[in-house]
Copies of this chain bind each other. A is one copy, B any other.
Amino acid sequence: MPGATPTARAATRRGEATRDRLLRAVRDVVADVGYPHATTRAIAEAAGVAEGTIYRHYPDKATLFLAAVADANRPVLAAMADLPGRAGTGTVAGNLTEALGQLAQLRQQMLPLELAMLTDPDLAAQRARLHAEASAGAGPSAAGLPDPPGLLADYLAAEQAHGRVRADLAVGPAAVTILAALLGLALAPGTDPSSATVDPGVLAHLVDVVTRGLQP
């Protein structure tokens, strides 16, 4: 909140900068050496702070990692936000290709972190606890944030209204399926984890399959 005392502002500024450096350090270290080797020591070193400093900003390692995931997710959501508005313009295949391409590029950066959350039950438990606290604190109206599957489903429904997607398609499950394929491709065995982008040819085939289907 702007307008606080200069002292407080300076303190906040410094703290925020440190927090940002820590969040970025988490992503960098996990990407570099893998989740099992992403120790507090390595993260502190990458952030240029002392190990103990982590615990001035986050109560424990799990909370720090979850904050890093949430922070990395923001641009992913932003990239999808304007997809529903494009219904009726260009081609369906073209719109999908562009949106999925952006999404894949961003996902690639935080994929190791998301996978880690799937492998480590401690992180999952902590996330559940934080979510519970958050919704308890924010009241019962906090649900319903826009997420990629919801936005994609909205887009498909809008295209149904334009007659460019068949009317009997269940847009919700279809959106889930399409994004699942995108996620699955990112995990494909041949993928080089260091490449930040997704092969455009692979993406084109995905769009071809889901738009035209297998049938003649």
Contact = CB atoms under 8 A, between A and B. Distances in A.
A211 interface: yes
A165 B163 CA distance: 25
A214 interface: yes
Contact of A37 (B121, B169, B174, B210): B121
Interface stretch (A16-24, A64-72, A111-119, A132-140): A111-119
A183 interface: yes
A85 interface: no
Copies in the complex: 4
Contact of A177 (B116, B121, B205): B205
Is chain A's interface secondary structure helix, strand, loop, or mixed overall?
helix
A164 interface: yes
A213 interface: yes
B214 A34 contact: no
Interface residues of A, number: 50
Interface in A111-155: 112, 115-116, 118-122
Contacts of A120: 34-36
B170 A216 contact: no
Interface stretch (A2-10, A76-84, A184-192): A184-192
30 contacts: A34-B121, A35-B119, A36-B36, A112-B119, A119-B119, A156-B214, A165-B216, A169-B208, A170-B205, A170-B208, A173-B202, A173-B205, A174-B209, A176-B185, A176-B188, A176-B202, A176-B205, A177-B181, A177-B205, A177-B206, A180-B182, A180-B183, A180-B185, A181-B181, A182-B184, A184-B187, A209-B210, A210-B214, A211-B213, A213-B214
Interface of A: 33-37, 92, 112, 115-116, 118-122, 156, 163-167, 169-170, 173-174, 176-185, 187-188, 193, 201-202, 205-206, 208-216
